[in-house]
Amino acid sequence: ARFAAIQYDIQDAASLPFQVAVSMDGSETRQMQVTTGSSVYNIELRLVAEEVIRLPAGEVRTLHLQGQRVNLGTGQRQQGYDVWLAPDYRNFPVKFSGPTSKGDVLEYRIRSLSFEGQTVLGKDIKPEPDSPDNDIIPKELLEHHDIKPTYEPVLDIGEDAP
């Protein structure tokens, strides 16, 4: 078994830019920990510039944070974490780039941004409908595809009250 001490806020790699967005307090350096599922890393992000970048959603004023990660198990350092926050849009992370544990680079850029149903940046992209219908999920992905889910309350209303 391998162990790593939790020293800072810890997130999975995909949530990193969103955690940075909600916890950005204006300081020039942000330290946190990230897990990829197989390793734990210390990450230090530094505010390096205010930039206007071009995205599929349009031009956006951003705060560019850049950093490195240190594998707590091996001590290996790896550069390449970049997060662009849009202060005009609630610090939303509009672009992210970072290494995966397999050496690939995970990157995303927003095409559209909506808050509370109102498109504030980019094109108004129609969302895919949510559906509670299990027929849209391939049967092989359902845990017990031969059993239709049913819900039966365990207690009648008020039955658990003293």
Model confidence pLDDT, tens digit, residues 45-84: 899 999 999 998 899 999 999 988 887 778 778 777 899 9
**Paired sense of beta strands 10-12 and 29-35, if any:** parallel
pTM: 0.68
Cα diameter, the chain: 61
Burial of 21: CB neighbours in 10 Å, binned 0-12, 13-18, 19+: buried
* 159, containing H or E segment: none
What residue has token string 């049967």?
139
